[in-house]
Structure 1
């Protein structure tokens, strides 16, 4: 990622010490600029209107308006803002709900600073990101479930299915293009066709579909 691309980040957590700690961890990246902090989801929504962040890095358990509700409102009211969850909760209920509410990723608080920065950069570029712990909790439990009777993924071509899988794994358009040796414009066309065929409009929705169809598996 170019060092000239500055990603504006809004940090949201109800513990001031946690906010200070996260801010310090992000100082190692020249691509990130912490433009502000908020102590709950309502404050985050208000500050986002003023500060215009690219990514909101947000906890779930907060007073006034929690992360679950705030993510849904960001999706509806400020859809250009990417929401990345940073939480200590690694249970499937939280992770799935956050995806349904429009979050672009879910990272556990025990990740390294480098991984946290990578997660922010990934969702900023239009990808999705799940830390290893969140992925294991989510994907392994989906793998234990019975196969769905319907297989709507069949409406996609083989190439579209491959593109969807890579996007759901967190790759941005540029990375998908590089891996498949095709142009970024071709990836964008595939992405739009996938969304149209599946009637899905968000990156989080595509990720949820890929999980439900078991296109993503643990390695």
Structure 2
């Protein structure tokens, strides 16, 4: 039986997975036993491999990292989920913790701290990188009505067309991007806004003056 900490890595960008694996492959106490490119794959692979730790991205197609984390923590409470993401705003962090993750770090983290984070959560503790800790303790909670629009320009363009009733295929044609890219934007928009249906997206777009 190996004494190494078994890790599954989840990210929808292969180059990111390759980069993280390159950081960990030289680490004698850690073994990457599997990878996944979306939340649904992650749930399936974790169920098969039952790793000690999962490094989970947040924004992914098909199923986002927060929903995947919730399922993994419900089905396999012994597996520790450590979020590895570009998002450092308070809302994301709180949602991740509510889903059952035991740690949160940004993708810019150095290799040594990533290894430290994996070891820390594997031992039963929580881990937050410094900038996330600072965000948690220094950001003011802004009332919902005063919150700035969290969407990128491209996401706002997609939201406008979706809210106007266009299909993903039509949105792709109008914006000159792929259907898959539109679907990814839709998932990211829903996740950022914590909305779950096209009707809710339309209401948000009207409320924010994105469509009239």
1:103 alignment counterpart: 101
Instruction: Give the Cα–Cα distance (whole angstroms) in 2 for the partners of residues 140 and 112 of structure 1.
Output: 23
Q: Distance in 1 between matches of 2:57 and 2:5?
A: 19
Distance 2:98 2:48 in 1: 26
Deviations along 1:77-124, one digit per CA (max 9) or x if unpaired, are: 111110000000010000011011100000011111000000000000
When normalised by structure 1's length, the TM-score is 0.62
Q: How many residues of Structure 1 are paired with residues of Structure 2 in the alignment?
A: 140
Which of 72, 88, 110 does residue 74 from structure 1 map onto?
Answer: 72
2:92 corresponds in structure 1 to 94
Unaligned runs of 5+ in 1: 146-219
Partners of 1:138 and 1:100 in 2: how far apart?
Answer: 14
Cα offset for 1:27?
1.7
Structure 2 alignment gaps of length 5 or more: 142-212
- Contact 2:11/2:37 (<8 A) preserved: yes
C-alpha distance in 2 between matches for 1:52 and 1:111: 25
Superposed CA deviations along residues 109-144 of structure 1, whole A, max 9, x for unmatched, are 111100000000000000000001111111223xx5
Distance of 1:28 and 1:94 partners within structure 2: 31
- Of residues 1, 13, 24, the one that matches 1:26 is 24
Whether 1:114 and 2:108 are equivalent positions in the alignment is no
Question: Equivalent residue for 2:58?
Answer: 60
Equivalent of residue 46 in structure 1, options 36, 44, 47: 44
The structure that has the greater radius of gyration is 2
TM-score by length of 2: 0.64
Q: CA deviation at 1:5?
A: 3.0
How far residue 28 of structure 1 moved from its aligned partner, in angstroms, is: 2.8
Name the CA distance, whole Å, in 1 between partners of 2:98 and 2:23: 28
The SS at the match of 1:28 is coil
Q: How many angstroms apart in 2 are the aligned matches of 1:135 and 1:29? A: 26
Q: Hey, which bits of structure 1, 4+ residues long, moved more than 6 A? A: none
What's 1:187 paired with? none
Q: Structure 1: how far apart are the matches of 2:86 and 2:12? A: 13
1:134 aligns with 2:151: no
> Pairwise CA RMSD of aligned residues?
1.2
Q: Partners of 1:58 and 1:8 in 2: how far apart?
A: 14
- Give the Å deviation of 1:16: 0.5
Partner of 1:161: none
